[in-house]
Structures are given as structure tokens and as C-alpha cells.
Structure 1
């Protein structure tokens, strides 16, 4: 018969209402909930900004293709490119500073639970890794554009009658003076004049790229320290995940074995009950199967051949020893 527990629940409720510690516990739980809510809102904001940077990188890549495909440099396209690059720089610096602050906050906070600390560190690593991947992609896009601009300069110099190697072009770029490209060139045709103008324009693009790539390099150095400090923690997380996976696999195997043993034990129990219905009294008995030994409900089962009466049961040869 089911027992009515409603009076006990009401009594417990009255006790909690009179307990001053109950409100304190509820307040702590509410504070933890608010902390995690604010934390994940911060994580979502960072993830949104990183996604925006990724979209801007795609726009920059598209503008690079447009500029390279144009016979003449388009000022409007270049202005749009500079705006996109400025937006990327602004967002990247904001994300970088917020990630560093996020790491500092976790190191200084001591009242968080271990679970909250692990969640915070894991989220920090994921965001940092994603940010580094996006910025690395941006760096590769800029390096590829620089290489194509350099090849464009080399082709334009060949049009003007001056053949240069890759090393010579690099030396010209490092000088920072566009006149180095055009000195000694006799401008006699409109095509040559256009080639010289294009060379100077590409040189200006590369100079801007050099500055942007240098800024990215400094940012990567700054982020490398943050990623390195997270390395050991992530290794521990991966180890725990692998160990958990191994435990799950082992538990699954043990469960299958348990089901198999349960089925076998049930079949042996049926045999036991059926044999006990015989007229002759049996205190214990034996039967043969796979050299196994166990106890079941006080009966001694030994899977080894013994002398006694032979009985057939479900295509098994059962040897039973009767005791009078």
C-alpha cells in the first residue's frame, strides 16, 4: 500500500522556511546561475566578433581579386579595401584584449566551482584557437596578395624592357622607394607610361601590406603566449576525454557480458527446477559444459564429467548424481 508522504513534505517545507541558511543557499545558486549566464553572453559576443572578422577576410580576398584583375587601379576599390582592413584591425585588437582579460579573470578568481573553472578554460581555449585560425587565414590572404602584386610588378618591368629576378624585386621593395623601380627606364610609349604608373601603385599596395603583416606578426607573438599557457590544460582535457571513452567502451563490453551470463544463468535455473520435479530426491547434482564452476540457489554446479545418471536436456548431456 502506498504511503502518504504529503504531511512530511509540508513539514520539511516549514522547516526550510524557518532556516536562515536556506535563503543563503538559494542566493548562492542564483549568483552562480547569473555568473554563468553573463559568462556565456560574453563568450557569444566574442564568437560573433570572430565570425565578423572571418567575413571581412572573405571580403578582403574578393577585393584583392578585383584589384588584380583590373587593368588600372580603382581608387574606390582601394578605399573599400582599406576600410575592410581597418575594421579587421579594430575587431582583432578588441578580441585579443578581451581574451587576455578573460584569462586574467579566471586566474584571479578563486570562488568559482571547479566545474565553472573547467568550463571557462575550455571556452577560452576554443575562442583563442578560433581567433588564431581566422587571423592566420587573414595573414595568408595578405601574403598571397603581396606575392601576386610582386609578380605584377615584375611583368610590368618586363614590358618596359627591364628584366629583374625575384631577389631584385625584393630588394627594390625593401628600399621603400618607388623610384628604384623606374630609374633608368626610358618612357617612350603610352603603354610604358601606364606600366610605370601601375608599378608605383603596386609598390604602394605592398608597402601598406608590409605594415599590416608586421602588425599581424606582433599580434601572433602576443597570442602565442596565451595559447601556450592553455596547452597543458587542453592536454589534460583530451586525456580525460580519451579515458572516459575507454571507460564507456569497457562498460559496454561488460554490459554485454552481463546480459550473456544472465541469459545463461536463467537457462541453468530452468534446468535445475525441472530436474527437481523428478520423483527421486536430489540434494545436489552436476552436469558437463565448458569446464565452468558456479553456485546457484544452494546447488553445486560443476561443469566436469562425473559418474551418474545421464539425462538429455535441450541437446545437452546432463550427468546427475542421485543421493538416497
Structure 2
């Protein structure tokens, strides 16, 4: 049985409480820790104990110094020694307080032995520290009161009168013996100090006033100098004006004749230019051949994009949903914009004759252009959200979120472009904004800001953030030793393809939108300038070229995806392969097993004609193997979806 040692422990506690040395090692067992267990805690405890011992020793030295200061003629060295000792006591006390505070913050959970050891040691040291400081403060207060009583008795014997504040100041300065000369010197020094401070304030104020006067005189001198120069220049200008007026009177008739001849030459040049119709012919040929090519390539690419992105492998990707919506909107945009251009080559332009067609055409073209641009911006943000390590941000990259965001995007741009049907009108078979400079300025700034500045800034920011997130993921994968080398290579290749697709789209979009944005800025800057007919024709031709370049992005979106992404190329090949190889027969429908079951299964020979419920025709093993390979490739390709980024 275990021996009951509670009574022995209680006696040790009582002896420890009665002992003045408060050395816990004399009465209690000291834990001998192995290696470095609690080494830092005991080091702090020993440090605090040594400081407390020094503090006790210093407080004991102060008491005889107080007695020596109360001698009839105290030595000045004793006063200096007392001041130094008090300063050391304060420093030691601040060190002990800081260490005890750190020990209190260092405590962990309240259920382990470490906390109990720290708390016990801290309480003992804190109690001893408080007792020492209380004794020190009591000694200081007693010494202060004794000095005060002594000075009061001396003042009463001399017959002088001092206020309590003056007596306290003498005690604070360490004066234990009162003398009239010391009080007089103190008052004199105080008056001198006040006088010096007042004089210093006067000197500072005087210096400021002198600086202000100097600055004022400098300004006056500079102003006088400028006025003199102005007067001199006015005199010179007056003389020059006199000479110029004399020359103008001589040259003016010649200038009038020259301007008349120049006007005739300009008119003849414009007539010749319009008769040749060079720019008009170039624009007509570009519309005929360029826009017809755009329409064929763009409709084909958008249709293939829609077919490719509606496949089952891409339905679970949110950014593919944005790409699919962008393809549908681009198809509408190209059909309306380019179709009307080609229609005007052979028939009358309805936009220039019908006001409803004019307003509706520009409204649809402008709203759809903003819709597919901002679909790309939202897709960039979707990729950034999917590559982020933040769970809440990754929740944005979901198909259901994309299905909610797309209608909002469409509705927003239908509302923001509603000013177009209001400000557009027809004049001289031309549909444009007439006699409304504010509306023209707003339209130019709106296209430049909403179509170029904000989208390009957002896409650039998202691209940089995606690159940072992918670098963080790559670093984490390198640190994860449990992952295979092949999987790391596969994930690195995915990240590179996503970045390549993103940068290619951003670069191509920025390249195609820059000319149109530049023309919008130019129109906004020159809207208040009066332009001649030749300049208007050139500006319209340049606007036509900028618009033609802008159509390249929706036309080439499918081809950009295909060129920049191997996954798109593989999926496109598989789609065409499945359309060519997988032919369905309505009269012969059979569901074949997949994988090894199909290869290992024996099919009996056919007997006669095949009907529903009869024997099945023997399968062609080459076709079965090709279909099985396609199935396996599709299973592997599910990890290669173009818009998904694995989050480690």
C-alpha cells in the first residue's frame, strides 16, 4: 500500500510559510527534469528570483541611507548614493514586473502540470515581490514624512512661513535640512527660469515677424521686377503691332487673292476625289469580301463552339457555361451586324430609311457586343475564383452561379444601352447621332470605358492573380511528397494551358478593341472642333476599319480556343470522330457492354434476319475496340476539362 504523506506535506507547508527566507527548495521536492523539459520555465523563474533577491538587497541598503540623510549635516555623497539606489530599485522592479507578466501570459491550458508549476512559482515570487515593494514604499513614505516634519520644526524655530507645496518641493529635491538661503536660491532660480522662458518666447515671436517681413519685401521686389518687365514687353508689343498693321495693310489684298485660289483648288480636289470614289469603293469591297468571309467563318466557329461546349463533358464547368453564352451572343451579334452590311450591297438599306430599324440595329449590336465582352470578363473572374484557396471565393465557380449571373449580365447591358434608341436618328439616309453633342460625347466615353478600360483592367488583374494562385499551388504540390511525379506533371500542364488560353484571349481582345477605343477617344476629344467634309470622310473610313478589326474577336474565338488549347483540339477530334463513326440504325438497336466484358463475351452466329428480341448480329471487334478506346479516352479527358483548375 502507498504510504499516506499528507501530514508530512502539511507540516512542510507550515514551515515554509513561517520561514522568512521563503526558499521553497528547503521544504518541497524539486523536480529534476530530463533533457530540456520545462527548461525555459525554470530559467525564467530563476531569473525572476535573482532579480527579486537583488531588489530585496537594494531595499535593505536604502534604510541606512535614509537614516544618514536625517543627520544634522548630511553628506552630499550620501544623497547621490541614495538617488542611485532608488533608480536601481525602480529598474529592477520594472524588470520583475515584465517577467511576471510574461509568465502569466505564458500559461497554457489549465489542466496540465505545466500550468500548475508555472502558477505556483509565479504566485510565490509575486507575493515576495509585492512584500518587498510594499516595505520599500513604506520606507520612502516614512522618510518623506520625517523630512517634512524636520523642515517644519526648523521653520517654526526660525519664525518663517512656507506653504505645503514649497515644503514638498524641498523634500522632493532631497533637502532634509532647511535653510533660508536654499529657499531664496530656489525662488530666485525659479524667477530666472521664468524670465528666460519669456525672453525666449519673445525672441521666437520676433524671429517669425522678421521672416514674414523679409518674405513680404521679397514678394514686393519680385512684383516690382515683374511689373517693370511687363511694361517693357508692352512697349515692345505696341511697336510690333504698329509694324504688323502696316505690313498687313500691304499683304492683305494678296492674301485674299491666294485664299480664293486655294478654295477653288480644294473644291476641285474634293470633286475629283468624290468622282473617283476611292474610299467608297475600298469600303464597298471590304464589306463585300471581308464581311462575307467574317460571317462565314464566325458563324461556323460560334456554331462549333456551341456544339462543343454543350457536350456532357463540359456541362459541369462554370467557365465553359460563360464561353457557351458568349458564343451564342457572338452569333447573334455577327448575324445582325454583318448580315445587314451584306444586305445593303444588293438591296436598299433599311437602317437609313426606317427609323425603327435604325434604332433597333444599333441597340442590338451595341448591347450584344457589351454582353459577350463582359462574359469574357466574368469568365476570367471565374477562373480566378476557381484557382483561389478561399472556400467562399471558390463557391462562385459553380454552374448554378453561372446560370444566375448570365441573365443578370444580359439584363444589365440591355438597360445600360437603352440610351441608343433614344439618341439615334436618321438624316440624309444616315443613321447616327445628330445635333446632340452631349449624347455623342457620352456615347464615345461609354464605348471607351465600358468596352476597353474596365474589361482590360479586370482581365489583367485576374490573370495576375491566377498566376499567383497557380504558383502557390505548384509550390504546395512540390512540398507534398505523397503525390506522384506523373500527377504533378499533369497538373503543371493543366495550369500552363489555362494560363496560355487566358493570355491569348486577353491579348487578342485587347488588340482588337484598341483601334475602336482610340477612335472613341478621338471622337470625344474632337467633338467641339469644326471639321470639313474631307476630314469627316476620312474619320468615317477609319471608324469603319476599327469596327472591322473589332469584329475579329467574336469571329476568331473558336479558332483561338482550338489553337491555344490541346484539350479543345482533342475534344473537337473526338466529336467529329463520334459523328462519323457512331451511326445509329433505327431498325437495329443494341446496347453493348463496355470494357473487358464486351471483349470476353461470346456472341452466337446470326441465323436469319434480325428483329427486336431475335439473335444479335456478331459485333465487329475492331469497331468494339475503337469504341472502348474512345470511352477510356473520355474517362481520362474528364480530368482535362479546359476551364477546371484542381485546387489542392
Q: TM-score range by the shorter chain?
A: 0.3 to 0.5
Q: TM-score, normalised by structure 2?
A: 0.21
Question: Greater strand percent: which structure?
Answer: 1
Q: TM-score, normalised by structure 1?
A: 0.41
